[in-house]
Amino acid sequence: MLKDFKEFIMRGNVVDMAVGVIIGGAFGKIVTSLVTDIIMPPIGRLTGGVDFSSLYINLSGVAYASLAEAQKAGAATINYGVFLNTVINFLIVAGAIFLMISQMNRLKAKFDKPAPAAAPSTKECPLCLSVIPLKAVRCAHCASDLK
């Protein structure tokens, strides 16, 4: 059983998947930082200084000054600002993956073109149907003239 597990782990696709998951996690952190630290502040400024990550709907009926206070008190909240940030993260990741896959498909199509068919180097004698060289003027099998 240990041998089978070792073979499974050492397959190329499992190792490739593990590398993809690790790179994907790192890429996700970069995108989260891009959205939180680069994209959302200007959008918040354009909308009057709103911090999207602190937008929420309080369902408890008690007023709280911030989302952190409401969560600390255990109030039920709908955190739609965090959801907006997550949707933007997803759209950026999906766009980046789309661009990467489309480029990979373009390169693959470029390299997967079939090789052109080789020009024939032989022909058939019309009389005896033997295979002879293309440049032959006389059949080696039946001695007929080929014109």
Neighbours of 81 (CB within 10 A): 19
What CATH number is given to the structural domain containing 74? 1.10.1200.120
Region at 74 (left for phi over 0; alpha for psi -120 to 50; beta for the rest): left
Paired tokens of 50: 């709103």
pLDDT tens per residue across span 87-133: 888 888 888 888 888 998 898 888 877 777 788 889 999 888 899 99
- 95 and 139 in a single domain? The answer is no
Residue 4 inside a domain? The answer is: no
Name the residue type at position 10: M
Looking at the 3D structure of the chain, how many domains does it have? 2
Please answer whether residues 92 and 31 qualify as being in contact, where contact means their C-beta atoms are separated by less than 8 angstroms.
Answer: yes
- 16 and 87 in a single domain? The answer is yes
pLDDT tier for residue 72 given thresholds of 50, 70 and 90: very high
- 49 and 82 in a single domain? The answer is yes
Mean pLDDT of 7-29: 80
Residues 68, 74: Cα–Cα separation, whole Å: 10
Please answer whether residues 75 and 60 qualify as being in contact, where contact means their C-beta atoms are separated by less than 8 angstroms.
Answer: yes
- Domain of 121? 117-147
